[in-house]
């Protein structure tokens, strides 16, 4: 009783002290900032996606307007005044349709630039198809006739067969000391797959033709002597005679007889080629540049190379040229013999 009197409270009236575990903590200020920055991040990602799609769309419109023609960029190889430029155009690797198209477009780009005073055709090629080698040869000749500006071939490494064919279209030919050239001639090869089909796979080819020579030469039977003579007369000899004529026209020091003597398929090092008048000078790129300057009548010039533009289709993986595709076109190339201005190593 004394205790109750001192406190003034009964046992039922004792106050309950609230526990801290039952109290609701105040909201943290940082949570609001997190939400804010998350919203900003999402909006930023959406804006970037829209920008990328817009750029791709504009690029597609530009390509559709400009057509198939490429707009090349320029890379400076040697500094000099931009009012006088020398363009270096590469013929590198096997000469085929895509390379020929690329070279022709670069020649047209140089033709439209009045500041280009001359061109160097830098050749590192064993040759390739007859039609594409001849197309490049024709475009170089056309450039020289329409512009009156000099074109000099610079051979680096291997510049044989079709590589030499394209070089003789130039005013002068400069070869590196280690260059290999020549191989004036024509070659053709094809596969005979008769045993593979019939004996290994059990496949019997059936060919229906309007005449006996319609499928000469055929990959489905052995190559006969009659077929060989026919192919030589119809394909090899005409292509070879054109090669001989082209070299004799481009190399004034050589007669038709000289070219026939040299044109047995032999290859020549730089020293031997110079002695046989197949080239004009032995040197490096600097010597080729000096030769162009001399022919163009300029003392100083900026040397440039053309580069392909950035391709959105390649970035997005829309081009499947690097993937192996065995379609009708591939089958045709595989089974059809081709006559080539090509130095072949087996």
Q: Calculate the CA dihedral of residues 166, 281, 284, 80 and round it to 10 degrees.
A: -90
Q: What is the largest CA-CA distance in the chain?
A: 144
* Crossing angle between the packed helical segments 130-147 and 237-250, to the nearest 10 degrees: 30
Q: Is residue 36 part of a domain?
A: no
Q: What is the structure's pLDDT at 202?
A: 83
| Token couple for 56 | 């791709």
> What is the rounded distance in angstroms from the CA atom of residue 200 to the CA atom of residue 62?
53
b/e per residue, 232-241, with b = 16+ CB within 10 A?
eeebbeebbe
pLDDT at 214 over 90: no
Residue 10 lies in a domain: no
The total of other beta-carbon atoms located within 10 Å of residue 59's CB is 16
- Domain containing 235 equals 69-309+335-342
From the list 160, 26, 145, 37, the residue with the least C-alpha distance to 91 is 160
81 lies in some domain: yes
Q: Label residue 320 by pLDDT band (50, 70, 90).
A: very low
State the average pLDDT for the chain.
83
pLDDT at 329 over 60: no
The three-class DSSP label of residue 315 is: helix
Q: Is residue 94 a contact partner of residue 124, using CB atoms and an 8 Å limit?
A: no
Q: pLDDT: is 71 or 257 the higher one?
A: 257
Domain assignment present for residue 79? The answer is yes
CB count, 10 Å around CB of 95? 31
C-beta separation of 193 from 219 below 8 A: yes
Alpha carbon distance 96, 129 (integer Å): 6
Provide the number of structural domains found in the chain: 1
Q: What would the mean pLDDT of 65-78 be, rounded to a whole number?
A: 71
User: For residue 200, is pLDDT > 90?
Assistant: no
Sheet holding 338-342, edge to edge: 127-129, 338-342, 187-189
Bridge partner list, 180: 158, 269
Please report, in angstroms and rounded to a whole number, the separation of the first and last CA atoms in the chain. Answer: 121
Q: Is 217 part of any domain?
A: yes
**How sure is the predictor about 25, in pLDDT bands with cuts at 50, 70 and 90?**
low
List, by residue number, the catalytic residues.
Answer: 161, 214
Q: At what angle do helices 130-147 and 97-111 cross, to 10 degrees?
A: 0
Per the document, the length of the chain is 346
- The answer as to whether 289 is a domain residue is yes
User: What pLDDT is recorded for position 8?
Assistant: 47
Q: In a 3-state reduction of DSSP, which class is residue 86? A: strand
Res 330: pLDDT: 52
Q: Give the pair of three-digit tokens for residue 19.
A: 């526990």
Q: What CATH number has the domain bearing residue 293?
A: 3.90.226.10
- What was the pLDDT predicted at 346? 45
Question: Which is more confidently placed, 345 or 213?
Answer: 213
Classify burial at 19, counting beta carbons within 10 Å of its beta carbon; exposed 0-12, middle 13-18, buried 19 or more: exposed
pLDDT computed for residue 24 by the predictor = 54
For residue 41, is pLDDT > 70? Answer: yes
Residue 100 lies in a domain: yes
Q: How confident is the model at residue 5 (pLDDT cuts 50, 70, 90)?
A: very low
Section 176-198 average pLDDT = 88
CA R_g for the chain: 36
Evaluate whether residue 144 is within a structural domain.
yes
**Higher model confidence: residue 136 or residue 42?**
136
What would the mean pLDDT of 249-270 be, rounded to a whole number? 96
User: Reduced to 3 states, what is the DSSP secondary structure of residue 287?
Assistant: helix
């Amino acid at each position: 009783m004394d205790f109750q009197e001192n406190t003034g409270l009964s046992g039922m009236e004792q106050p309950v002290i609230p526990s801290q575990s039952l109290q609701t903590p105040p909201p943290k200020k940082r949570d609001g900032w997190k939400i804010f920055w998350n919203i900003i991040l999402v909006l930023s990602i959406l804006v970037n996606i829209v920008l990328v799609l817009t750029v791709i769309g504009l690029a597609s419109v530009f390509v559709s307007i400009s057509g198939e023609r490429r707009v090349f960029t320029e890379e400076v190889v040697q500094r000099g005044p931009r009012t006088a430029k020398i363009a270096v155009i590469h013929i590198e690797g096997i000469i085929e349709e895509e390379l020929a198209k690329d070279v022709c477009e670069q020649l047209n780009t140089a033709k439209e630039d009045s500041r280009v005073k001359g061109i160097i055709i830098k050749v590192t090629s064993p040759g390739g198809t007859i039609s594409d080698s001849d197309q490049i040869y024709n475009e170089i000749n056309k450039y020289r006739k329409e512009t009156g500006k000099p074109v000099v071939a610079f051979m680096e490494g291997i510049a044989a067969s079709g590589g030499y064919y394209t070089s003789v279209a130039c005013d002068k030919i400069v070869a590196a000391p280690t260059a290999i050239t020549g191989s004036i001639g024509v070659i053709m090869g094809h596969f005979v797959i008769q045993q593979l089909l019939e004996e290994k796979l059990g496949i019997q080819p059936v060919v229906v033709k309007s005449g006996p020579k319609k499928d000469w030469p055929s990959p489905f039977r052995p190559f006969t002597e009659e077929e060989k003579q026919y192919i030589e007369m119809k394909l090899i000899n005409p292509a070879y005679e054109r090669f001989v004529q082209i070299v004799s026209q481009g190399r004034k020091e050589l007669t038709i007889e000289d070219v026939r003597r040299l044109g047995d398929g032999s290859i020549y090092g730089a020293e031997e080629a110079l002695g046989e008048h197949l080239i004009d000078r032995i040197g490096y790129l600097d010597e080729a540049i000096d030769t162009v300057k001399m022919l163009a009548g300029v003392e100083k010039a900026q040397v440039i190379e053309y580069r392909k533009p950035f391709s959105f289709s390649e970035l997005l993986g829309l081009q499947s040229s690097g993937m192996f595709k065995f379609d009708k076109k591939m089958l045709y190339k595989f089974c059809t013999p081709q006559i080539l201005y090509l130095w072949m190593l087996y």
